[in-house]
């Protein structure tokens, strides 16, 4: 299949299933673009998620812009943005005609409850996969992961601040490593 | 000019909603209910409920809904466009920087730390979703036994299928929805 068409249809499909918040797009994109198509590598996907999370706007839209840009440049990004907004646009467009009936429909809420339970499982699955790749590394990234988790989950610190703090630690760590290697050489 | 007003309101929402999702609800409310009275508070509560029931970011859902209510399909297009415009400009700029400079060892190091944070954030989102799916609320209830049994079974089954057979998450979600409807129709739960 034509690569651009494949990119567009994949994004359409993924967007139509992004229930339960923006982060859900990460495991879906990972499955399609990292595992199935091999267009993006594992580490890169995490980098793109970090950028998507720290930019203004919806995570799902930001993440698809990044994936589109990576795969096919500026045009690719426009294509993935379209692919991401068409499903919610069409669905809300139709539902707005009879949204009260939709909201109160028992079958809809039952199906949604079931899907939500599996979306939770999808996120747990991807967290385990991603965390195990962090645990293979040095101690500092593991400590940062645990600290970030506590900061976001229990201390309710703004996510952007946590990201900036981690970036600062990253810079300090790089400077320290640099000095040490120079010192060892001299 | 209603189109320009819609466009400008949703550009502001697009710029200001950092952190995504639930952080953007008060921003949308400030524009749509308080500043412009495009929706009543009841309608706004309805659209947040519907946004949770449908796929896609809440800001896009709200933009489409408000646009249609206020100025029909062209209004929805304009509002949605406004909503994503800031993202497109900012994220594409960042993407350019990322692909230009990610080879530098300093950038590499910063990114490797950010990966840890990202995993932590997704883990936090995952726990919130598990609580929402099991108990129907975002806060853990005092009575942990009041768990929804259907959700718990679907969660466990999905988790096993995903880890063991690496089935595509989209199929797992579709099957789970169908299963929940079947259980409801047969057993009334």
Predicted confidence (pLDDT) per residue in A91-111, tens digit: 999 998 888 888 889 999 899
Can you say how many angstroms the Cα of residue A110 is from the centroid of all Cα atoms in its chain? 27
pLDDT of residue B170: 92
pLDDT of residue A1: 65
Distance between CA atoms of A101 and A139, rounded to whole angstroms? Answer: 53
Chain B interface test: which of A12, A15, A101, A121 (most B C-beta within 10 Å): A121
Chain A with chain B: Cβ pairs closer than 8 A? 344
**Residue range B117-174, pLDDT digits in tens:** 889 988 998 998 899 899 987 778 888 878 899 999 999 999 999 999 989 999 999 9
Distance between CA atoms of A84 and B169, rounded to whole angstroms? Answer: 17
Distance between CA atoms of B63 and A164, rounded to whole angstroms? Answer: 30
pLDDT of residue A19: 85
pLDDT of residue B21: 62
A51 contact residues in B (CB cutoff 8 A): 91, 94-95, 98
Measured between CB atoms, does B165 come within 8 Å of chain A?
A: no
* Segment B15-31 mean pLDDT: 79
Distance between CA atoms of B6 and B76, rounded to whole angstroms? Answer: 9
Distance between CA atoms of B75 and B53, rounded to whole angstroms? Answer: 23
**Residue range A106-131, pLDDT digits in tens:** 999 899 899 999 999 999 999 999 89
| Residue B7 confidence class, pLDDT cut points 50, 70, 90 | very high
Residue B22 has pLDDT above 90, yes or no: no
Residue B94: enclosing H or E segment and its boundaries? helix B58-101
* Segment B52-81 mean pLDDT: 92
| Residue A160 confidence class, pLDDT cut points 50, 70, 90 | confident
* Segment A148-155 mean pLDDT: 91
Measured between CB atoms, does A134 come within 8 Å of chain B?
A: yes
B72 contact residues in A (CB cutoff 8 A): none
Nearest-Cα distance to chain A for B34, in Å, is: 21
**Residue range B120-131, pLDDT digits in tens:** 988 998 998 899
Per-residue b or e along A88-111, where b marks 16 or more CB atoms closer than 10 Å to that residue's CB: bbebbbebbeebeebeeeeebebb
């Amino acid at each position: 299949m034509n690569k651009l068409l494949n990119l567009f249809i994949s994004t359409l499909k993924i967007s139509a299933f992004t229930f339960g918040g923006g982060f859900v797009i990460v495991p879906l994109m990972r499955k399609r673009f990292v595992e199935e198509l091999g267009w993006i590598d594992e580490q890169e996907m995490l980098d793109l998620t970090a950028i998507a999370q720290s930019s203004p706007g919806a995570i799902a839209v930001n993440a698809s812009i990044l994936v589109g840009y990576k795969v096919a440049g500026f045009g690719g990004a426009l294509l993935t943005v379209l692919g991401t907004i068409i499903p919610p646009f069409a669905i809300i467009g139709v539902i707005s005609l009879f949204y009260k009936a939709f909201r109160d429909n028992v079958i809809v809420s039952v199906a949604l409850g079931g899907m939500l339970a599996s979306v939770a499982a999808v996120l747990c699955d991807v967290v385990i996969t991603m965390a195990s790749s962090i645990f293979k590394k040095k101690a500092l990234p593991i400590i940062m992961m645990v600290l970030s988790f506590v900061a976001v989950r229990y201390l309710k610190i703004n996510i952007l601040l946590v990201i900036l703090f981690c970036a600062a630690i990253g810079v300090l760590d790089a400077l320290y490593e640099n000095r040490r290697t120079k010192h060892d050489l001299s | 000019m209603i189109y320009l007003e819609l466009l400008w309101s949703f550009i502001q929402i697009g710029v200001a909603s950092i952190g995504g999702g639930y952080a953007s609800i008060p921003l949308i409310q400030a524009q749509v209910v308080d500043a412009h009275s495009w929706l009543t508070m009841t309608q706004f509560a309805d659209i947040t409920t519907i946004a949770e029931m449908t796929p896609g970011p809440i800001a896009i859902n709200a933009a489409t809904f408000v646009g249609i209510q206020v100025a029909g399909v062209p209004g929805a297009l304009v509002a949605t466009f406004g909503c994503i415009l800031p993202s497109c400009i900012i994220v594409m700029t960042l993407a350019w920087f990322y692909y230009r400079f990610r080879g530098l060892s300093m950038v590499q190091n910063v990114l490797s730390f950010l990966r840890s944070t990202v995993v932590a954030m997704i883990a936090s989102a995952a726990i919130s979703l598990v609580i929402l799916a099991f108990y129907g609320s975002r806060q853990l209830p005092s009575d942990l036994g009041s768990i929804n049994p259907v959700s718990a079974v679907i969660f466990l089954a999905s988790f096993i299928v995903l880890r063991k057979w690496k089935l595509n998450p989209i199929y797992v979600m579709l099957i789970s929805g169908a299963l929940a409807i079947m259980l409801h129709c047969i057993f009334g739960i």
